Copies of this chain bind each other. A is one copy, B any other.
Amino acid sequence: MDAMGGDLGPRSVVPACARFIARFPKAELKLFGPRSQLQSLLLDQPPALRERMEIVCCEQVITQECNPVQALRRKRESSMARALQAVADGECGAVVTSGNTGALLALGRSILGTVPGVRRPALGKSIPTADSSCFLLDLGANIDCTAEDLVQFARLGVEAQRVFSGRESLEVALLNIGAEEHKGTEEIRRAGQLLGADPTINYVGFVEGHDIFAGVVDVVVCNGLMGNVAMKSAEGVIRLIGQKTFTIDKKAPIKRFFGQLAINLLRKWRTQLEPGRYNGASFLGLQGNVIKSHGGASSEAFYRAMLTARECAEADLAGRLDSAMSAVAQRQMGDG
């Protein structure tokens, strides 16, 4: 656990870790960050839980303002870099951070390395739909993407969604501004042609933003600009729902009793949408499981990201991606 990322830093990370340790009796955690800050927060936790949480002291911290180049040059001893190193060394099965995405991508590539044939790792997550889930990527790691990048993302997304959904046969679509073939940028249209010609991918065409949540396909692929906007706009609406609920809560006392019952239903149902906001995004294409938690990460959000990390580690997601992409690379070399 990189304990120093996000708006709250260790104040959200440490309680999430305690909850995780309590729930999984065999789990062991390493917490990376300045010992002075982490120690006092750990002392608030029950002693039995503390035993399975080890502080790895690192004083250096990466701020939100730090750009990728600075991270690579000057932040090799930061909590984020050291946590990634622990995964690279095989000491940990996955790393969770709510820190700076750009720095994470740069350090992840440098410290863990990429899977064979993957030019650019992508950030993706599983989003709940009406009946099922949809894996959306890239969520902001790559601003400009070529058609070839998008094809790689499709492959990575299919493998990841197999792990998260438990389904084997998955339909893939490209995010676009319309379903017609002439729509979108040249790279999107070209990616559509490449995917359509690939017999190993079940490509079904273009979809639009609303289709992500309709569950019409299993994997939706796009560049990081579009994916980030899609994800955050959806989050914005969910948050707006939260606020509207709150205004109902303060209504006239007479209505309060029935209002409260309604609100309980609402809350339950909001939690059905919220995993999409909170479950953490996976970096796909790195030689190790890296989970990015929500930037404004509450303890709840960090905990959910930890659950995703556990799932990735148990299923050996990074290893599966490595095998799958190596097979593709070999096949392509064979073709060439």
Interface string of A182-216 (1 = CB under 8 A from B): 10110000000000000000000000111111100
Interface string of A245-266 (1 = CB under 8 A from B): 1001000000000110111111
A328 at the interface (CB under 8 A from B): no
Q: Specify the chain B residue showing the minimal Cβ separation from A209.
A: B232
Q: Give the CA-CA distance A83 to B129 in the complex, in Å.
A: 39
Question: Are A143's CB and B229's CB within 8 A?
Answer: no
A225 at the interface (CB under 8 A from B): yes
In this complex, the interface size class of chain A, counting residues with CB under 8 Å from chain B, is 35 or more
Question: Are B209's CB and A229's CB within 8 A?
Answer: yes
Question: Are B237's CB and A234's CB within 8 A?
Answer: yes
Question: Are A236's CB and B211's CB within 8 A?
Answer: yes
Neighbouring B residues of A67 by C-beta, 8 Å: 182
A22 at the interface (CB under 8 A from B): no
Given A64-B180, A241-B241, A248-B265: 9 more A-B contacts, CB < 8 Å: A143-B185, A208-B232, A209-B233, A212-B233, A214-B236, A229-B229, A237-B237, A248-B269, A258-B265
Q: Give 10 CB contacts A-B under 8 Å.
A: A65-B180, A177-B225, A210-B232, A210-B233, A213-B239, A214-B236, A225-B225, A229-B230, A233-B233, A258-B258
